[in-house]
Amino acid sequence: MLFKFYELEYKENNIKNAEYYNTNNILDSSKNYIFEIDSIPIGIYISDFLTDNKIILDDNFFKFLKKQITISQNRGDISGKIDIDKLQPCYKKYMENVNEFNDSGSRTLKNKNINYEFCNPIRSSIITKDKPLYVKNEKLYEKHLKNIIKKIHKQLKSSFQIPNEYDEGLYNGYYNQMIINHRLRSAAHFDKKNKFPYSSLICLSKNKDLKEHIISFVDYDVGIPMINNKSLLIFDSVNIRHSNNEMDEELLNDRFSIVLYCK
């Protein structure tokens, strides 16, 4: 497998966390890349990664993914600045009692009148080995995602240094959590709570009209073209701010993304 080295150069901008961002500087999707900052590797992109006889992305696969999705009101900057028109009715009624937001405006803050925080709703589920959603559907996770996760783990080990000893995560790999997102366009954010910098991302859709999903490195003005159902991106999501380019609404409605990470 051949890789092209790509040195990321910081580009000053006015984009704040939880704001949306588009870049026109899209990389060539036919090439594989190693991303560097000051000649230190911080990510890799493999254009055609999910092509494997053991990986089957059929109708049953996408039906399975869809059934795993719940509504989350706690994802922070990735969900964008609080927009009352996006909130579910049960949350809209609390907005008159909200006095403060976090620095980016993506999360409400507690006060004497409301004792919890919330964000814009997004369709996503956090999956771990002990979560009820996984436990209830363990055989289906093994059928549909085990081969994908094991192949990603193998690539992670060959690309970046991981501890020699670790508590085994999903399918005996290093990653112990994953998020399945649906219909999500990510606003600018860091994954600051991850304990390991390198997250792995794939983008999926059964809609054949969706050719690419663009993941942008906001502060470097570069877009990574995730070929639908094929590409893999592993990168330092803790220190590299990232988001999604705008996408046609009908195509977005069919879009899934899966992110593997360690907490």
Tokens describing residue 82? 């609080």
The per-residue pLDDT for 93 is 86
Determine the average pLDDT of the residues in 2-18: 97
Strands 256-261 and 242-244: unpaired
Q: Model confidence over 20-53: pLDDT tens digits?
A: 999 999 999 999 999 999 999 999 999 999 998 9
59-67 helix and 138-159 helix, angle to the nearest 10 degrees: 100
Tokens describing residue 199? 């997250």
Distant-in-sequence, close-in-space partners of 139: CB < 8 Å, separation ≥ 6 = none
Mean pLDDT, all residues of the chain: 96
pLDDT interval class at 113 (50, 70, 90): confident
Q: Model confidence over 72-86: pLDDT tens digits?
A: 999 999 999 999 999
pLDDT interval class at 112 (50, 70, 90): confident
The per-residue pLDDT for 114 is 86
Strands (E) located in 23-114: 33-37, 40-46, 71-72
Q: Which residue has the tokens 């049953």?
A: 60
Q: Model confidence over 51-79: pLDDT tens digits?
A: 989 999 999 999 999 999 999 999 999 99
The per-residue pLDDT for 227 is 97
pLDDT interval class at 170 (50, 70, 90): very high
Distant-in-sequence, close-in-space partners of 198: CB < 8 Å, separation ≥ 6 = 43, 156, 160, 234, 235, 236, 237
Query: Which residues sit opposite 213 in a β-bridge?
Result: 226
What is each CA distance from 156 to 6, 62, 149, 223, 233, in whole angstroms? 19, 25, 10, 21, 10
Q: Give me the percent of the chain exceeding a pLDDT of 70.
A: 100
Taking Cα atoms as reference points, which of 192, 244, 198, 194 lies closest to residue 218?
A: 244
What is the distance between the alpha carbons of residues 211 and 153, in angstroms, rounded to a whole number? 25
* pLDDT at position 181 over 90: yes
Query: Which residues sit opposite 124 in a β-bridge?
Result: 181
The per-residue pLDDT for 102 is 96
Long-range contacts of 152-160 (CB under 8 A, 24+ apart): 152/200, 152/202, 152/232, 152/234, 152/260, 155/44, 155/46, 155/49, 155/200, 155/232, 155/234, 156/198, 156/200, 156/234, 159/41, 159/44, 159/234, 160/41, 160/198, 160/234
Q: Which residue has the tokens 């999707």?
A: 29
Q: Model confidence over 216-251: pLDDT tens digits?
A: 999 999 999 999 999 999 999 999 999 999 999 999
pTM for this entry:
0.96
Q: Model confidence over 117-164: pLDDT tens digits?
A: 999 999 999 999 999 999 999 999 999 999 999 999 999 999 999 988
